[in-house]
Amino acid sequence: MGSDAMREVNRPREIPLEISGFEKPLFSLLDETARLYPDQAYTLFQGQKQTFLQVKQTAERIAAFLRSQGVHKGDRVAVFLPNLPHYPSIFFGIIKTGAICVTCNPMYTASELGYQLKDCGARAVFCMDHPRFYPVTVEAIQDTEVRTVVICNIRSSLPKAKGFLGSLFGKIPRARNHEPGHFFFDQVTDRTSPDTSPADIDPGTDPALIIYTGGTTGVPKGAALTHSNLVFQVQAIDEWARLPHESGSEPEKLRPGGYHCYLGVLPWYHIFGLSACMLAACASGSRLVCIPDPRAGKPPFSDVLKAVEHSRPTLLVAVPTIFSAFVNHPRLERYDLSSIMLCVSGGAPLPRELCQRFEDKTGSLIIEGYGLSETSPVITVNPTNRKQRRLGSVGYALPNTVIKIVDQKTGQKELAQGEDGEIAVHGPQVMPGYWQKPEADAESFREIEGRRFFLTGDIGHKDPEGYLVITDRKKDVILVGGFNCYPREVEEVLYQHPKVALAAVVGVPSEKSGEEVKAFVQPVEGEECTEQELLEFCRERLAGYKRPRSIEFRDELPVSAVGKVLRRVLRDEEDNAAE
């Protein structure tokens, strides 16, 4: 049941504390939607669409091909692709064999990809026919167990005329050379008969996905998520989201069968984009706009705005840097964004000022949620209406989910409501454990009152009305003269300044106080901002120990591929400079 339900005074009453029916194979989501809405469009890409029935049939061909290559239940198959229309078919094809899909960041170097392929013991990999991605794949598979490589070209996903002209003028990306023995996606799907007999799955114990996490804080670890972990996640979010679909109408669950359209701007190799966008669209029979490169266009991000105007998405799942890219785009006013009804923000703290600016410019609603790769990912989310949404919080626990705030030293002593501590979670979305990392499991899990809780590494508390408030990452807290300074609080202040596009705060060594606060700022394009201007701004709004002692301006702040500002990179740069 939901944690402290009696004190969650604004939790929507129509949302149950418990749901059931999620103990089933993940591929059943596609099978059921293809049965109900066979001709409804699933993926949209450059004016071309794939229906749910077409995606299902292609997935069955991929499953048959993988079995012909000796891939069996429990084997690992990697996907090294951006958000291409091939992705859903490949993903569902892999898990229909009983194999485990391993999603890989397409921006990885050969050494980074190689580490992941070796760690999981992948037998096959799907990659893009591209002058960068394919050579990286070829180098990365050396000394791994990969024996099957499938190359995906986008030509067949384009309208015929566009594909022909693109090939004619060399505008469709393609690797210069291809290794003998590697397969092409179109040949595989054209020449293979579908396999309609999916593997026998135990949803509660069989992994469907290994997703790597921890890259921003250390060596990546593979979070092994089961079929029921992910099915629960999709069903719980579907139960939670309630919208008035017409002006003045009562809120209701999201309408299925093509009413809604998701903007696929978050990468699907990441759990947030995969679960809350690609899988959620599948389960509800909604359209899904494929955005392989959010930065594309002149100026950057223009292609995303064009896609919104053309495809009319109603739902946007994103991270704060995406919302920042919207509101700071110099030509935003030229585009019609009125189709967007609901936005979900996660992956990093959403500054209040950024939320308000986005809503003012688009007329949509943003709700913030919270989760991790290890939890499929969503743990908590705000109510999907302005009255019950609480800006600055991440909302209430999903059904079947228990949240506890525990002491940071042992992770087992529950703290009083309102007191900051480490956030621990128990629920059907929590992974059984990391891939072949029992020592990491022992460090990350605790038994509390007979139930197994995952320690998130995040610091937070519950406010008087039961909303969960994230204070900061446990490892990012800055100790200034014995006082805890949370970077997020300082960043929130910086985001209030109209000339600040992105901000990040880290601790740097100080002879007087042990550590002191340093801020890194990316100004709004075309704006000039001085250090003294921002220092004065902070002085009026922050206690002395929380104020930045220095501010460094950057043209761009380092961000992960999913859009998180990487404090770790900035901290490492400071450490190296001090040596």
Residue 214: predicted pLDDT:
60
Residue 6: predicted pLDDT:
44
The CATH class that applies to domain 477-578 reads: alpha beta
What does the alpha-carbon distance between residue 469 and residue 463 come to, in Å, rounded to a whole number? 7
The answer on pLDDT for 160 being more than 80 is: no
| pLDDT mean over 392-402 | 97
What does the alpha-carbon distance between residue 372 and residue 370 come to, in Å, rounded to a whole number? 7
Question: What does the CA dihedral 261, 263, 268, 273 come to, rounded to 10 degrees?
Answer: -90
What does the alpha-carbon distance between residue 519 and residue 542 come to, in Å, rounded to a whole number? 14
The answer on pLDDT for 402 being more than 50 is: yes
What does the alpha-carbon distance between residue 176 and residue 474 come to, in Å, rounded to a whole number? 46
- Give the burial class of 507: count Cβ atoms within 10 A of its Cβ; 0-12 exposed, 13-18 middle, 19 or more buried: buried
393, 370 in Cβ contact below 8 A?
no
Q: 3-class DSSP state for residue 139?
A: helix
Determine which of 76-85, 141-150, 477-486, 503-512 has the lowest per-residue pLDDT on average.
477-486
225, 213 in Cβ contact below 8 A?
no
Beta bridge partner(s), residue 573: none
The answer on pLDDT for 425 being more than 80 is: yes
What does the alpha-carbon distance between residue 128 and residue 150 come to, in Å, rounded to a whole number? 8
| pLDDT mean over 88-113 | 94
The larger pLDDT score, comparing residue 310 to residue 176, is at 310
Beta bridge partner(s), residue 48: 45
What does the alpha-carbon distance between residue 384 and residue 489 come to, in Å, rounded to a whole number? 25
Q: What is the pLDDT of residues 30-58, one digit of tens each?
A: 999 999 999 999 999 999 999 999 999 99
Neighbouring CB atoms inside 10 A of 451's CB total 12
The answer on pLDDT for 3 being more than 50 is: no
Residue 182: predicted pLDDT:
97
Q: 3-class DSSP state for residue 370?
A: strand
The larger pLDDT score, comparing residue 383 to residue 170, is at 383
What does the alpha-carbon distance between residue 477 and residue 186 come to, in Å, rounded to a whole number? 50
Neighbouring CB atoms inside 10 A of 566's CB total 16
pTM of the model: 0.85
Residue in 262, 300, 317, 313 with CA at minimum distance from that of residue 284: 262
319, 344 in Cβ contact below 8 A?
no
Beta bridge partner(s), residue 193: none
C-alpha dihedral sign at 266, 2, 413, 468: positive
Relative to beta strand 342-345, strand 365-371 is parallel
Determine which of 63-67, 178-182, 213-217 has the lowest per-residue pLDDT on average.
213-217
> What band does 220 get if pLDDT is binned at 50, 70 and 90?
confident
C-alpha dihedral sign at 428, 1, 475, 347: positive
Domains 5-21+219-471 and 477-578 share a fold: no
Superfamily of domain 5-21+219-471: ANL, N-terminal domain (3.40.50.12780)
Q: What is the pLDDT of residues 545-563, one digit of tens each?
A: 899 999 999 999 998 877 8
DSSP 296-343: -TTTTTHHHHHHHHHH--SEEEE-HHHHHHHHT-TTGGGS--TT--EE
What does the alpha-carbon distance between residue 173 and residue 195 come to, in Å, rounded to a whole number? 31
| pLDDT mean over 135-153 | 97
Beta bridge partner(s), residue 470: 460
Residue 482: predicted pLDDT:
65
**Residue 551 phi, psi (nearest 5):** -135, 130
Residue 390: predicted pLDDT:
96
DSSP 456-472: EEEEEEE-TTS-EEEEE
Give start and end residues of each alpha helix (H) in 363-469: 438-444
What does the alpha-carbon distance between residue 52 and residue 196 come to, in Å, rounded to a whole number? 15
DSSP 507-560: EEEETTTEEEEEEEEEEPTT----HHHHHHHHHTTS-GGGS-SEEEE-SS--B-
Residue 452: predicted pLDDT:
97
What does the alpha-carbon distance between residue 423 and residue 398 come to, in Å, rounded to a whole number? 15
Count of all residues that appear for the chain in the document: 579
Q: How many CA atoms lie within 13 A of 177 on its CB side?
A: 4
Q: Could you give the C-alpha distances from 565 to 217, 491, 499, 546, in angstroms and in order? A: 12, 11, 18, 20
What does the alpha-carbon distance between residue 540 and residue 497 come to, in Å, rounded to a whole number? 12
Residue 75: predicted pLDDT:
98
**Could you state, in order of their start, the residue ranges of all structural domains in the chain?**
5-21+219-471, 52-200, 477-578
Residue 215: predicted pLDDT:
41
183, 77 in Cβ contact below 8 A?
no
Token pair, residue 541, equals 């709004």
Give me the architecture of the 52-200 domain, per CATH.
3-Layer(aba) Sandwich (3.40)
What does the alpha-carbon distance between residue 59 and residue 71 come to, in Å, rounded to a whole number? 15
Residue 165: predicted pLDDT:
41
CA 277 to centroid of chain Cα atoms: 9
What does the alpha-carbon distance between residue 123 and residue 70 come to, in Å, rounded to a whole number? 9
Q: What is the pLDDT of residues 243-297, one digit of tens each?
A: 999 988 999 999 999 999 999 999 999 999 999 999 999 999 999 999 999 999 9
The answer on pLDDT for 568 being more than 70 is: yes
Beta bridge partner(s), residue 577: none
C-alpha dihedral sign at 434, 440, 442, 445: negative
